[in-house]
Structure 1
């Protein structure tokens, strides 16, 4: 069965199949679709999850073993199979076709792939998957349809905007869905439910304050602690919303952590930047930051960001702005681990 991305929600309300394949050129949509399937699977009693990532040298017997290992607690299992390059190879092709012939209600196989060309969509292994299960193609909407996509996302957070405001956002993000997603989240943080005025949209998207969030992000990536402290202080005195400041910092930390983890697995640098939607001059900033930052430090930064989020929500203790400064300090002064001699 082949579905479009916007058909998946209605499909999951009706049923849950034992096999799903998600692929396309927009990582945000693939991630959200995978989250929806995982959530539905938990509701249906798939209490155990095993993640398999197909890297060079991957043993496809691991997939068959994952399907054969029963849970000690009798739970059904979700097997999360990720093929970053979209090419399972000869052994993988055979293993996937064999899996399709022996589907079981005790195992749900969720496969995520990048964008595939028409030749790959006609490969025997992919045809077998799409025939036995559900294949969902998730590509970014064309620029002309992006205002409608943005309007739909705003409805999810009980907000709306005039057509010219939707077009303004779409043009500013230049078709980048992740950037559009971030702008939509920003609007939810800044304004209550209801219709947004054109002025509110422009102010949020352009962010023309002297001490702005873009400057804060840049200082983090450059490791410029002095500039970071000055910018953070400016944001505090200008009354910037703390959730928005934390969001801006956390978005960079997550992107850095994802890319750093890929580099640790010897994946190509440029491909990781592209998948993380890091373009143009920001690539230079990210590359320099990644020379300074390591996985452990980034994981600690994410944990500290979670602590700050609790303070913002009133369920944690501490001085909010001091903790934001500490978070910046962790990132600006982090250094790679020294190899033991």
Structure 2
């Protein structure tokens, strides 16, 4: 059988003697792990094959904006003009395709050995066992050394702790047992949340090699503040659709309006300051020294400031002030206030076409 445990699969990607396979099927009920593992694999294969030989499609189907399964398979079966085998990444898809699964299974049963096909699917935990009986899953798991099927199911706290340590080790750092336990406790085994907190820790420690419990206590906020952080970060990246999605989550979890507005105000001020330092030709070090505080939000602001114009900051702060007034003076609800704020900020919706990236 070609089924591989997630830990062994992740470890194999870090080995120098990594041997690529023609077929990879990454699936499961843990979106964060499926996403991270498939991206890590794709990046590894892109380094080997070269960017010109790699193609990524987020989904496939009969829609006008979708690529068809036939086109995906044709890409795998045609010879590259750059002289190396092609790598095609399909996914991560949010569920198995309604149409095209038969064609994918047929390709997996008679694959092109010169190409590499990555299929990543996120699905409900209840559907995992049935999916493993599907022709596609059977074709990959019976392909012997040519195929690898990796199942990502919900982990217990000890497994999450091990996953945290592996993530940190891949970055060339280490984390103490006490720090890992505290991080898992704060994240409540939510891998999506933990992934964001790990990114914060990685940026925060800088040249330090070990993450301690004290570091975790300094950097990792409680769940409520973390959700607001993600919202303000989406605003900073001018990701309108992401901000609206996160806004719905904030409201569903009854996040305090004052906390959201306060953190958003701080983010806008950091962005404006970063833009000013950059316009004057000053370095990040000068910006960090002038602002003070944790380096993580400063690094984010420094990177995101390029996407903002000078007049945007004033418009954004006016929008936040109006939100305060709408809530305090007119008694508008948090949902009404924040929806009005999000749609009035100087960011525009970005339409993402499902297809090659």
TM-score, length of structure 1 as denominator length: 0.62
Does the Cα contact within 8 Å between 2:165 and 2:174 map onto a contact in 1?
Answer: yes
Distance 2:12 2:201 in 1: 30
- What are the Cα deviations for residues 97-150 of structure 1, in whole angstroms up to 9, with x where unaligned? 321232223321111101342112111232113222211112343123323332
Counterparts of 1:244-323 in structure 2, within 5 Å, are 249=233, 253=237, 257=241, 279=249, 281=251, 312=284
Corresponding residue for 2:324? none
Partner of 1:109: 117
Show the counterpart of 1:232.
Answer: none
Which residue does the alignment assign to 1:333? 346
Structure 1 gap segments, 5+ residues each: 221-248, 261-272, 286-303
Compute the displacement of 1:71 (Å).
2.7
RMSD (CA atoms): 4.1
**Comparing both chains, which one has the higher relative contact order based on Cα–Cα distances under 8 Å and sequence gaps of 6 or more?**
2
| Whole-Å separation in 2 of the counterparts to 1:279 and 1:42 | 34
Q: 1:15 to 1:54 in 2, by over 3 A?
A: same
The TM-score, its normalising length taken from structure 2, stands at 0.60
Q: How far apart, CA to CA, are the structure 1 residues paired with 2:97 and 2:228?
A: 42
Structure 2, unaligned stretches of length 5 or more? 256-274, 292-297, 317-341, 351-357
Are 1:125 and 2:136 matched, yes or no? yes
In the TM superposition, what whole-angstrom CA distance separates every residue of 1:188-239 from its partner, at most 9, and x where no partner exists? Answer: 32234244443332121238xxxx8876666x4xxxxxxxxxxxxxxxxxxx
**Residue of structure 2 in register with 1:30 after alignment:** 34
Q: Tell me the distance in 2 between the aligned counterparts of 1:203 and 1:193.
A: 15
Alignment map for 1:1-341 (pairs within 5 Å): 1-12=2-13, 13-45=17-49, 47-52=52-57, 53-57=59-63, 59-82=68-91, 84-89=93-98, 92-115=100-123, 116-132=127-143, 133-191=147-205, 192-206=207-221, 220=232, 249=233, 253=237, 257=241, 279=249, 281=251, 312=284, 324=305, 326=308, 329=313, 332-334=345-347
- Assess, with a 3 A threshold, how the Cα gap between structure 1 residues 84 and 196 changes in structure 2: closer, same or farther: closer
Is the deviation greater in 178-187 or in 153-162?
Answer: 153-162
> Is the 1:25–1:114 contact (alpha carbons within 8 Å) kept by the matching residues of 2?
yes
Give, in angstroms, the shift of residue 3 of structure 1.
Answer: 0.6
Question: Does the 8 A contact of 1:157 with 1:193 survive in 2?
Answer: no
